[in-house]
């Protein structure tokens, strides 16, 4: 018999809406999964089981009330789209009554007074929040390790990282602790952990999911998107995040796209500043993805993209601007991780003119890059240049010691940052350009699905191509 966590998110949604499963049954099952698996994986920082069961009971009461009303002919109110669906929220996002740590020991950890916009959106769609998932400090890094809770680990190899900054959410979905989860992506923070954990991860284009944007993001890099086990499950969450008057994402994902011209590239705007080596596993994933796309009827050709070598400095300036203005009392700054402390100091020393200059450059970079990408319908590249990295690898934690608490992290912030840019060299420019992108888990280092480590491809589309990207992922069997 199929276990609840083995159901796809779409199947679980159908069971909940039909009454075959109650919200309390689904919530209790996933809470038990967290109880049994979280000690190893560190996916959740805070579990709000009592509130989750109360919210599930309220969802069941609403279901019963609407069923009684429908039986008497009253259909004025219907169940919300994601009625009773369990989710977790990154610990960068406020959930009323729950502490938001931002992954930092330097902040006072007080319960949030109100829900953040993304939480409000999804609660309005009927979800039940099970708690807060692990993140890096202020969401700055491609790994989810900090000084307040154990690191988030990869369910496919617990000695490896689940990625970041949506690492806890990705680990939870991949381990069956959640059916799917919302993430936020300002430089790869949905796509990196999705690829590391063998999931589909969609970063929508700029402005598509208004509730996922941030006022403290001067370059408008951040977008909210789904982490899911399939394109259909990702489409279901997108229907809650970005409902519109046109065809739903779930309807669109059932249609096969026509033949597409796909540009295949390994070019990166980081390669001049941080020359990197592409691992054979990443090249294997790219070859596999290319073959799958060609078998599906698409045409691929090599795409040479020229990037301005001023990009790394400008992106880093914009990416770290918010941490410079974070409200941290001077006597607690020593509690920041070395990378955060270093980039905070540099942001504070940087003039407003320097930031404005960087933002102006990034706008020109966006125009230039989109023009080059416009020669193809979609751009194809590996999602990551290397396999998921060992826990502690980026920070040099006690020469590879991954124990927590991470008091012995090396202070080499620049080495840490360089490793991240070499690990995920094809992520951040997509955020700068405001384009949608999807990662698809096409390759496993052990030879088959679930064997060894997952490796993904990334497809980048023009503005408004979120449905197309989901269609292609579904067409490839994901």
Spell out the alpha helix ranges (H) of 19-103. Answer: 23-41, 49-71
- What local confidence, expressed as pLDDT, does residue 447 receive? 84
- What local confidence, expressed as pLDDT, does residue 405 receive? 63
Extract the tokens encoding 265: 């590239």
**Cβ atoms 169, 133 nearer than 8 A:** yes
**42, pLDDT greater than 70:** yes
Q: Please choose, from the candidates 13, 10, 23, the residue with its C-alpha nearest in 3D space to the C-alpha of residue 62.
A: 23
**Cβ atoms 186, 431 nearer than 8 A:** yes
- For the chain, give the percent of residues with pLDDT over 70: 97
The residue annotated as part of the active site, out of 90, 132, 203, 419, is 90
Give 120-160 pLDDT, tens digit per residue: 999 999 999 999 999 999 999 999 999 999 999 999 999 99
Q: Which helix (H) or strand (E) holds 9?
A: helix 9-18
Q: What is the DSSP letter of 436?
A: -
> How many domains does the chain fold into?
1
Where residue 399 falls among pLDDT bands split at 50, 70, 90? very low
Specify whether 211 is catalytic. no
Query: For all residues of the chain together, what is the average pLDDT?
Result: 95
Give 45-101 pLDDT, tens digit per residue: 999 999 999 999 999 999 999 999 989 888 888 999 999 999 999 999 999 999 999
The residue annotated as part of the active site, out of 162, 189, 268, 428, is 189
Give 206-258 pLDDT, tens digit per residue: 999 999 988 889 999 999 999 999 999 999 999 999 977 789 999 999 999 99
- What local confidence, expressed as pLDDT, does residue 96 receive? 98
**Cβ atoms 417, 344 nearer than 8 A:** no
Distance CA 181, CA 168 (A): 10
Q: Chain-centre distance of CA 236, in angstroms?
A: 16
- 276-292 average pLDDT score: 98
Distance CA 114, CA 91 (A): 14
Strands of the 86-90 sheet, one edge to the other: 44-47, 128-133, 86-90
Extract the tokens encoding 448: 């088959």
Give 345-379 pLDDT, tens digit per residue: 999 999 999 999 999 999 999 999 999 999 999 99
Q: Which domain holds residue 321?
A: 4-475
- 173-180 average pLDDT score: 98
Specify whether 165 is catalytic. yes
**Cβ atoms 463, 390 nearer than 8 A:** no
**196, pLDDT greater than 80:** yes
Intra-chain end-to-end CA distance of the chain, in Å: 23
**Cβ atoms 182, 241 nearer than 8 A:** yes
Query: At 132, is the secondary structure helix, strand, or coil?
Result: strand
**DSSP string covering 35-50:** HHHHHHH--EEEE-HH
- What local confidence, expressed as pLDDT, does residue 18 receive? 97
**400, pLDDT greater than 60:** no
The CATH number assigned to the domain holding 451 equals 3.90.1300.10
- What local confidence, expressed as pLDDT, does residue 357 receive? 98
Give 287-325 pLDDT, tens digit per residue: 999 999 999 999 999 999 999 999 999 999 999 999 999
Q: Please choose, from the candidates 154, 145, 203, the residue with its C-alpha nearest in 3D space to the C-alpha of residue 174.
A: 154
**398, pLDDT greater than 60:** no
Place of tokens 């990662």: 439
Q: Please choose, from the candidates 310, 325, 342, the residue with its C-alpha nearest in 3D space to the C-alpha of residue 432.
A: 310
Residue 400 or 112, more confident:
112
The residue annotated as part of the active site, out of 165, 250, 428, 465, is 165
Distance CA 249, CA 247 (A): 7
- What local confidence, expressed as pLDDT, does residue 404 receive? 62
Give 428-467 pLDDT, tens digit per residue: 999 999 999 999 999 999 988 889 999 999 999 999 999 9
Angstrom CA distances, 136 to 38, 236, 324, 365, 395, stand at: 17, 27, 16, 28, 12
Place of tokens 């070598």: 309
Q: Chain-centre distance of CA 135, in angstroms?
A: 11
**Cβ atoms 235, 268 nearer than 8 A:** no
Extract the tokens encoding 352: 């407003």
Q: Which residues contact 117 (CB under 8 A, 6 or more apart)?
A: 210, 211, 212
Where residue 397 falls among pLDDT bands split at 50, 70, 90? confident
- What local confidence, expressed as pLDDT, does residue 407 receive? 54
**Cβ atoms 445, 387 nearer than 8 A:** yes
**341, pLDDT greater than 80:** yes
Q: Which residues contact 369 (CB under 8 A, 6 or more apart)?
A: 305, 307, 429, 432, 433
């Amino acid at each position: 018999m199929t276990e609840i966590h083995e159901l796809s998110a779409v199947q679980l949604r159908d069971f909940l809406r039909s009454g075959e499963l109650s919200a309390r049954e689904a919530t209790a099952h996933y809470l038990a999964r967290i109880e049994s698996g979280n000690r190893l994986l560190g996916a959740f920082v805070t579990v709000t089981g009592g509130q989750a069961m109360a919210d599930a009971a309220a969802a069941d009461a609403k279901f019963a009330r609407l069923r009684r009303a429908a039986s008497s002919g009253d259909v004025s109110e219907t169940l919300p789209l994601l009625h009773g669906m369990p989710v977790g929220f990154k610990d960068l996002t406020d959930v009323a009554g729950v502490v938001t740590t931002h992954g930092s020991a330097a902040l006072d950890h007080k319960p949030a007074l109100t829900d953040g916009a993304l939480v409000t959106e999804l609660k309005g769609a009927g979800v039940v929040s099970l708690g807060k998932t692990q993140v890096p400090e202020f969401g700055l890094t491609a790994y989810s390790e900090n000084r307040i809770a154990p690191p988030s680990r990869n369910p496919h190899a617990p000695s490896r990282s689940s990625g970041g900054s949506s690492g806890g959410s990705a680990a939870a979905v991949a381990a069956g602790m959640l059916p799917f989860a919302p993430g936020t992506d300002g430089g790869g923070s949905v796509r990196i952990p999705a690829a590391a954990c063998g999931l589909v991860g969609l970063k929508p284009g700029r402005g598509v999911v208004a509730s996922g944007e941030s006022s403290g993001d001067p370059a408008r890099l951040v977008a909210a998107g789904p982490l899911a086990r399939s394109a259909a499950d990702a489409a279901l969450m997108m229907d809650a995040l970005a409902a519109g008057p046109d065809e739903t994402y779930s309807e669109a994902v059932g249609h096969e796209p026509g033949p597409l011209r796909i540009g295949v590239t390994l070019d990166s705007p980081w390669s001049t500043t941080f020359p990197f080596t592409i691992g054979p596993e990443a090249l294997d994933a790219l070859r596999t993805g290319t073959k799958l796309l060609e078998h599906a009827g698409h045409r691929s050709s090599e795409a040479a993209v020229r990037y301005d070598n001023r990009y790394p400095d400008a992106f880093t300036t914009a990416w770290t601007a918010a941490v410079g203005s974070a409200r941290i009392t001077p006597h607690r700054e020593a509690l920041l991780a070395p990378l955060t402390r270093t980039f905070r100091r540099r942001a504070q020393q940087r003039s407003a003119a320097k930031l404005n200059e960087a933002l102006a450059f990034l706008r020109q970079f966006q125009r230039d890059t989109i023009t080059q990408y416009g020669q193809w319908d979609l751009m194809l590249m590996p999602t990551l240049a290397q396999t998921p990295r060992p826990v502690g690898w980026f920070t040099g934690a006690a020469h590879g010691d991954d124990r927590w608490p991470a008091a012995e992290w090396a202070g080499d912030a620049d080495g840490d940052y360089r490793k991240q840019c070499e690990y995920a060299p094809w992520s951040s420019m997509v955020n700068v350009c405001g384009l949608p992108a999807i990662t698809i888990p096409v390759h496993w280092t052990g030879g088959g699905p679930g064997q060894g480590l997952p490796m993904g491809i990334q497809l980048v589309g023009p503005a408004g191509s979120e449905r197309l990207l989901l269609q292609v992922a579904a067409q490839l069997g994901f």
